[in-house]
Amino acid sequence: MTPRLLLSWLALAASGALAQVQVQELQLKALFNPQAPTSYVPGAAVDFGTVPTSAPTTVTFQLANTGPDDAILTLLQVDGSAFTLVRTEGGSEKLVVPAGQSLEFTITFAPSAAGPATGELWVQIATPASSLTPTVQPKVEYDLKGTGSGAIIGPTPTPTPTPTPTPTPTPTPTPVWPSATIGAQPAPLVSGQQSTISIRFNSPLPASGAGLLTMNFTGKGDTQRGFICANGAFAPSQVSFTLSAGDTWARFAGNQTIEFQTGTLASAIAFTAALGDGTALGSQSFTIAPAAVYIDTVVLEAAANGALVEASGYDNTQKASTASFTFYNTSGQQIGLPITVDATAPFASYFANAATGAFSLTQAFSVTGDVSGIGKVAVTIQNAVGPSAGVMSQ
């Protein structure tokens, strides 16, 4: 059964606006005071009202899962240069929204000029979270809109100079940062992959600065997941970037992208970009889906009174069970039937203490006859998703 996600808007802005959005059940509620929520359907507009350009407003939201199953939040994104999404409750560790619980975040409406501004809020979940193969639900969109007032950009009437004995210092204006999109290539992310991550802004940056790109994830830690810095260093969770006025990209050691190693465990990954002072710039979530075992290499060696087969790869579910070995003679003819070994226990024992899905399975075989008659062996390993591709020894 599809769980219902209830997106509750707890308005903490000066207006006291409170809204509720119900995803999947196609119900949106918005209250302009905490006691009276108003409902919207997906696609309806949520109005932030009229906000001075000099005084951005921030609204806190709650994403509530009112369904019977835990849900994985696979996408929570805001588009539109005047709107910025900030995760506030529990960071990204709460990407799994348990049934009956909620996730908090805020959206800041900061109009850069007088006049109307629009944006979109995108929400997507996968359910049930307890499944190895959760079903990704369709994206749900809510329109965001508001109106900026004051601080008009453009020709303004020249005021009549008023003689003053001493000039009043003009406060330095706080730059309004455009919305950022965090992208990954190639997409979707899968285990055992080295991809690139970028942060692109939808308009030129108003000022220079520096910030941090942070990666959080659900589930077990993965020692092989992290950023690959320009100097070759591995950064498990965070890298710095710089911003230059007029640019539309965040730069990692001068580059538009930074390499990212996805690791070997299935997980939901969330990237968050923020300035050094904590000002949020953007966030993006990705799901690395559970997959069949990947066998990278198979090595066949002669051993005392037999043969030794070593299969290396990764199981991003950590639930590998049986391994099947098919032997071939030096002419390429299959020798008998495949030999199946139940390796559930050694896999479980290893993965219990391993912060990785990478493994090396070694299986010894006793051989009666001429061991040199064995030419190759093909190995297949099963996990909860299914059997791996068969990989021949090298």
Partner 1 sequence: MTRHLAAFGLYLTAALAQSGVQAPRAGCLLGANGSLRPVYGVAGAFLADVPATTGAISAACSDSLALVKTATSLEVRDASLQLLAQWDAPPGAALFALPRTGQTAFAYYPATGELVQVGPQSAPRTVLDSESLGGDALAIASPDALHLIAVVAGTPGPRLARISVADGVVQTQTPLEDVAAPLALLSDGTVVFADGVGLVIRPPGAAVQRLAQPVIHGNVRQEQSSVLAPTVRPVVTEQRMALPAPAAAIDQMGGLWLAVRLADGSAPMALRLAGGGEQTCRVPAKETAP
Judged by CB under 8 A, the residue of 57, 218, 224, 382 near partner 1 is 224
CA-to-CA distance for 271 and 61, rounded, in angstroms? 19
CB 68 within 8 A of CB 91: no
Q: Which of 69, 70, 131, 67 is nearest to 95 (CA)?
A: 70
CB of 347 to partner 1, least distance (A): 5
Site for partner 1 in 327-366 (CB under 8 A): 327, 329, 333, 335-337, 339-343, 345-347, 349-350, 354, 356, 358-366
Token digits of residue 380: 């297949």
CB of 235 to partner 1, least distance (A): 8
The site for partner 1, by CB under 8 A, has a size of: 65
Give min distance, CB of 129 to partner 1, in A: 24
List 25, 89, 141, 259, residue binding partner 1 (CB under 8 A): 259
Nearest alpha carbon to residue 243 among 271, 274, 214, 215: 274
What is the spatial distance between Cα 366 and Cα 344, in angstroms, rounded to a whole number? 21
Q: Which residues ranging from 295 to 314 are in contact with partner 1 (CB under 8 A)? A: 296-297, 299, 301, 306-307, 312-314
Contact map string, positions 183 to 222, toward partner 1, x by CB under 8 A: --------xxxx----------------------------
Pick the stretch among 27-35, 145-153, 209-217, 230-238 that binds partner 1 (CB under 8 A).
Answer: 230-238
H or E element in which residue 350 lies: helix 344-351
d(CA 275, CA 278) in angstroms, rounded, equals 5
d(CA 123, CA 23): 8
Using the minimum distance from each CB to partner 1, give the nearer residue, 16 or 236: 236
Question: Of 84 and 383, which CB lies nearer to partner 1 in the complex structure?
Answer: 383
Q: Does 252 bind partner 1 (CB under 8 A)?
A: no
Nearer to partner 1, 106 or 317 (CB): 317
Rounded Cα gap, residues 229 and 270, in angstroms: 18
Residue 385, both tokens: 């998703």
Which residues on adjacent β-strands are paired with residue 197?
184, 258
Answer for the pair 218, 72: CB distance below 8 angstroms, yes or no: yes
Beta carbon of residue 394, minimum distance to partner 1 (angstroms, whole number) = 5
CB atoms within 10 A of CB 139: 14
DSSP letter for 345, please.
H
**Chosen residue from 55, 153, 233, 245 binding partner 1 by CB under 8 A:** 233
The residue among 143 and 259 lying less far from partner 1, judged by its C-beta, is 259
User: In whole angstroms, how close is the CB of 118 to partner 1 at the nearest point?
Assistant: 41
Q: Which of 41, 234, 238, 246 binds partner 1 (CB under 8 A)?
A: 234
Q: Which of residues 148, 226, 282, 290 is near partner 1 by CB under 8 A?
A: 226
Tokens 């921030």 belong to which residue? 58
Q: What is the largest CA-CA distance in the chain?
A: 108
Q: Does 368 bind partner 1 (CB under 8 A)?
A: yes
Q: Does 93 bind partner 1 (CB under 8 A)?
A: no
* Rounded (5°) CA angle 217-220-226: 50
* Residue 187 CB neighbour total at 10 angstroms: 9
277 binds partner 1 (CB under 8 A): no
In the complex with partner 1, the residue whose CB is nearer, 55 or 348, is 348
Nearest to partner 1 of 138, 373 (CB atom): 373
Distances (CA, A) of 162 to 32, 151, 159, 167, 281: 43, 21, 9, 11, 40
**Positions in the binding site for partner 1 (CB under 8 A):** 191-194, 223-224, 226, 228-235, 259, 261-264, 294, 296-297, 299, 301, 306-307, 312-314, 325, 327, 329, 333, 335-337, 339-343, 345-347, 349-350, 354, 356, 358-370, 373-374, 394
